[in-house]
Structure 1
Amino acid sequence: MLFDVHLELGNYIHAQSYLNDIANTSDFDYLIRLAKWEDHKGNLAGAIENMEKAMAIAESSNLRGLKQWSYTNLADFYGHAGDIEKSYNHYLKALQIDSNDAYAKKGIAWILYSYEDKPEEALAILNHVSSYYKAPDYDLLKSEIAAQTNNLDMKSTALDNYIKAMQNDAYGVMYNKYNVILFTEELYNPDLAIKIAEEEIENRPTPKSFDLLAWSHFNKGDINKAKTIIETYVDGKTYEPEVLYHIAEIYKAAGRTDKVKELKRELIASLYELGPNMESKINQL
């Protein structure tokens, strides 16, 4: 658990130290954390390999909860790797254990939306899930799909539902990342986005948190400040496609075409993960 905490806080040296302390390749808890660590380092193949080993242990132990968790997490990794059929099949495995697994259904909805170009079917699944499971990020996904289909009324309704949900103090800072993106890309309030990003950095100074701050300054028009933050705290320290896109846009505005060309190749390879709305933006880099 100390590994989990330090990884979330961006204390990567401490995280690696704790991971080394619990090293045991026949232990489920170690393997899933090793998978998280490899994913953090950008080694997706290594992450999949270790998650597959963890899944095998869960299956041999026949523990329903561990199997279900393994299937959905492995499905995510397969999707990141572009192996959509395996991703889909593992979401189905999770649903065979629990037919109400909202996360697995959301994963299948993403496949329909981003890979099969069936946004209406994706929305049907999300609306079904929303009938018994409430999570604000599902409204954001509905908004994204609505934007792709030019359904502005549906997009507006979904965003309104998300904003209303954020009035619930019980969520705390859980949705800070989503809120920064909302205030930079949809509601155009970069000052508020900067404030939220700074709060996120105070809570956990990870490269992803600093990316949120850089993106907020970029959308306010302060390209030099955004570039400085990216160069100091973000570039080369995370491999999340959304972050890489932000880096590319900031470098493009700063005239670093050499950096943009390299990033664009990686982003094109990550189009499934980023979603259809991002294709034109990436092509214009």
Structure 2
Amino acid sequence: MRTFFAGLVLLGAMIFTIASFSAAPSAAPPATAAARPLETLQERLKRLPRDHRGWAELASQYVDQARVTGDPSYYVKAEGAARTAAGLAPDDDAVLTARAALAAGRHEFAEAARLAGRAVAANPYSAAAHGVLADARTQLGDLKGAARAVDRMLELQPGVAAFVRASYAAELRGDQEGARRYLEYAHEDAWLPADLAYVRHYLGELALHAGDLATARSWYARALQADPSFTPALAGQARASALGGDLRQALDLYQRVVTRLPLPQYLVEQGEVQIEAGLRPDWTLLDAQRRLLAAAGVGDDLTAAEFEADHRDPERAVRYARAEYARHPNLVAADALAWALFRAGEPEEALKYAERATATGWNNPLIRYHRARIERALGRPARVDPGFDPSLPSLARLS
């Protein structure tokens, strides 16, 4: 899923740094580093230790650094800054929004939605708060609530952050053209290099999952032209190379990716390409990174469930997937549970969750493949896309 989110990442987590804490948000991630350098903000807080918005801004910067660097220790720093801000002004909308962003970064989406809802109540004109609320509700499976938050964002500040979220909402409904159109709006609105890189990367992702590798490569290259440090676009190039059959180039690119940003998603992708190339993957770094994330308070049962189902222990995958779906009953979690159950030999129960994962018309090739495999196992007619490569499942997951 496109959040932090997926990893974080989304990943999904489509959480943006709130540079000014005004009613208007800064741009979508990872576009916005704060207006002042991190050191300058820290120095200012030494002079003005009761500046609650400064502490909230620092917390958001640390959340952004955790996403950009893959270093989960920044979440611990963010927690300290957010706690200080909350101690000074617990009901301020900027403080609540920063705390919500931190919760989302740690995959605590129910808490993120609660805090973002409080921020919206405190300041209904805060597009930043509506953005975090939209992300959290998406992860909780409340697509209607997320759509309302996105619509409000579009009313308040129809810019990059709102357009990107509107694009993802359209994609989850199966509206590929709408998703592309909103990203094109975002591209027209973007001017910061990191904003341009971010939007171009997701235009590449749309093309990749439509099977248009040439267009995907073009967008990834343009993203890196805008911001050579934007690692997700480099990962996109690696995916396109792997799916196009150039495994040597893909492995070279993945090595650069994981050296820069050793997120679990990228490490799994690298390992799958190694398997495809006839090499033996080493999951040591993946296991270590998962432990580091857990120690920093980042819960990621979703990635663990997907990995265990595809590469290790389906029974363990079911446990992870049930835990994830219980907390965050979204489309991706439903698919993860369906696939884990299928791999564990429970196709009848699996089908129930596969149907939930495909209920909105989301045109995700991996989710369609999983449902088709489950239906075939139950003796039902189902078409498997002949162009889909089941040996590289993590490459088909949205980042």
Which of the five TM-score ranges fits, normalised by the shorter chain?
A: 0.7 to 0.9
TM score, norm. by length of structure 2:
0.60
**What does 1:103-118 correspond to in 2, within 5 Å?**
103-115=232-244, 117-118=245-246
Determine what percentage of the aligned residue pairs are the same residue.
22
Aligned partners of 1:114 and 1:276 also within 8 Å: no
Q: Cα–Cα, structure 1 residues 182 and 102, in superposed 2: closer, same or farther, change >3 Å?
A: same
Aligned residues: 259
* Pairing of 1:74-93 with structure 2 (within 5 A): 74-93=203-222
| Residues 230 and 127 (structure 1), Cα distance of their counterparts in 2 relative to 1, 3 Å cut | closer
2:150 matches 1:19:
yes
* Within-5 A mapping of 1:8-47: 8-24=139-155, 26-47=158-179
Pick from 276, 279, 284 the counterpart of residue 151 of structure 1.
Answer: 279
Contact 1:75 1:88 in 2 (8 A): yes
Match of 1:120? Answer: 248
CA distance in 2, matches of 1:106, 1:30: 24
Structure with the higher fraction of residues in helix conformation: 1
CA distance in 2, matches of 1:211, 1:27: 32
Question: Structure 1 unaligned runs (5+)?
Answer: 279-285
Measure how far apart 1:107 and its partner are.
0.8
Alignment equivalent of 2:359, drawn from 228, 232, 236 = 236
Backbone CA RMSD of aligned residues = 2.2
Tell me the equivalent position of 2:261. 133
Q: 1:47 to 1:218 in 2, by over 3 A?
A: same
Q: Which amino acid aligns with 2:159?
A: D
TM-score by length of 1: 0.82
Which of 187, 198, 204 is the equivalent residue of 1:55? 187
- Residues 251-282 of structure 1: CA deviation (Å, up to 9, x unaligned): 1111111xx13xx2xx335x3xx57657xxxx
Q: Structure 1 residues 221 and 125 mapped into 2: Cα distance closer, same or farther (>3 Å)?
A: same
Could you tell me which residue of structure 1 aligns to residue 345 of structure 2?
Answer: 221
> Which protein has greater RCO, CA pairs closer than 8 Å, 6+ apart?
2
1:172-222 Cα offsets, whole Å, 9 max, x none, are 55542231122223212x332121111111221113212222222222212
> What is the CA deviation profile of residues 104-143 of structure 1, one whole-angstrom value per residue up to 9, with x for unaligned ones?
111111111112x110111111112333332222221121
CA drift of 1:82 comes to 3.0
Q: 1:223–1:49: structure 2 CA closer, same or farther, 3 Å change rule?
A: same
Task: Report the equivalent of 2:135.
Answer: 4
Unaligned runs of 5+ in 2: 1-130, 394-399
Amino acid paired to 2:139:
E
Rate the CA distance shift 1:184–1:30 in 2: closer, same or farther, 3 A: closer
Q: Distance in 2 between matches of 1:171 and 1:88?
A: 35
- The answer to whether the 8 Å contact 2:354/2:370 transfers is no
Q: Give, in whole Å, the separation in 2 of the partners of 1:87 and 1:52.
A: 14
